């Protein structure tokens, strides 16, 4: 089993700011137990920077995927995304313009610098100001976007700048799945993906028909085949997987 888990909105409830999305003790305990089952490979996949998501989860012997797939690390897997020099320049220029032009003018905006990507969070902004945030943001990035120096993506109350490369959570999941299938040779591999955001839809699309795709929060347009209501339901589901694995002959513990 390859168990892919998003972080924000999946393992933890969505918080006002990224720093407040803390993994509770019960969820962490379940993840630690799952990480010790030899027939279950645990993969936490997030839009957060790799070093950030590793610190927030804090579980050893699992695979971490950061920055929507541009950073992968854990066990025998290692991947570093190719970042163009012109993207780094554009990203840095955009970061400074947001800090000097946008943030001072609209209270509640938070810029998250994740090294490879930039995320502008506006969850704390007055609802009447959200359109203004988007307008100012698009004015800043317009020249870089038109020259294809950056790529823009959307999430829940977040606008994100990424490298102009055809790479996302879906492609990262596919890469890990193929690596695992090659390593396991004749043994079957079941991928399960649980996520809550628009960025997880790329993974749902890739895995549809190959495993279980589960959206946290019901969404009519989602490509996921199943859904769970909230992070509490996710923990219950993980406990059920743990119980089934313990009852399965030869599931084994590391």
Query: What pLDDT shows up at residue 76?
Result: 66
What CA–CA distances, in Å, run from 77 to 35, 156, 171, 227, 252? 15, 29, 15, 29, 21
Share of the chain above pLDDT 70, in %: 93
Same domain membership, residue 69 and residue 14: yes
Share of the chain above pLDDT 90, in %: 69
Instruction: List pLDDT tens digits, range 14-57.
Output: 887 788 889 999 999 999 999 999 899 999 999 999 999 999 99
Range of the domain at 105: 85-162
Query: What pLDDT shows up at residue 245?
Result: 86
- Answer yes or no: are the C-beta atoms of 235 and 216 closer than 8 Å: no
Same domain membership, residue 173 and residue 158: no
Phi, psi of 185 (to 5 degrees): 55, -105
Q: Which two tokens stand for residue 24?
A: 């509770």
Residue 182: inside a domain, yes or no? yes
Query: What pLDDT shows up at residue 83?
Result: 65
Give the CA-trace dihedral at 154, 193, 72, 175, to 10 degrees: -100
Same domain membership, residue 141 and residue 24: no
Number of structural domains (the chain) is 2
Ramachandran sector of residue 58 (left: φ over 0; alpha: ψ -120 to 50; beta: rest): left
Among 162, 196, 223, give the residue marking a domain's end.
162
Q: Point out which residues pair with 193 in neighbouring strands.
A: 4, 213
Query: What pLDDT shows up at residue 52?
Result: 93
CATH number at residue 93: 3.30.70.1020
Instruction: List pLDDT tens digits, range 201-225.
Output: 999 999 999 999 999 998 889 999 9
Indicate whether this model's pTM tops 0.95: no
Question: Does the pLDDT at position 251 exceed 70?
Answer: no
């Amino acid at each position: 089993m390859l168990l892919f888990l998003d972080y924000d909105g999946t393992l933890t409830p969505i918080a006002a700011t990224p720093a407040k999305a803390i993994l509770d003790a019960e969820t962490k305990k379940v993840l630690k137990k799952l990480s010790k089952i030899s027939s279950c490979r645990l993969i936490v996949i997030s839009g957060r920077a790799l070093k950030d998501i590793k610190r927030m989860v804090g579980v050893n012997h699992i695979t971490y995927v950061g920055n929507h797939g541009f950073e992968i690390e854990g066990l025998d897997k290692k991947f570093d995304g190719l970042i163009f020099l012109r993207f780094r320049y554009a990203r840095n220029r955009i970061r400074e313009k947001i800090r000097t032009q946008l943030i001072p003018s609209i209270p509640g905006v938070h810029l998250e610098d994740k090294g490879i990507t930039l995320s502008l969070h506006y969850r704390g902004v007055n609802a009447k100001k959200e359109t203004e945030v988007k307008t100012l943001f698009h004015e800043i990035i317009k020249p870089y976007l038109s020259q294809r120096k950056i790529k823009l993506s959307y999430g829940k109350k977040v606008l994100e700048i990424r490298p102009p490369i055809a790479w996302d959570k879906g492609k990262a999941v596919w890469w890990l799945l193929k690596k695992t299938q090659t390593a396991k040779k004749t043994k079957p591999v079941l991928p399960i993906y649980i996520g809550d955001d628009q960025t997880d839809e790329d993974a749902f699309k890739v895995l549809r028909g190959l495993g279980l795709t589960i959206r946290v929060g019901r969404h009519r347009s989602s490509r996921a085949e199943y859904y769970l209501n909230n992070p509490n339901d996710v923990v219950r589901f993980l406990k059920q997987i743990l119980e089934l694995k313990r009852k399965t002959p030869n599931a084994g513990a590391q």
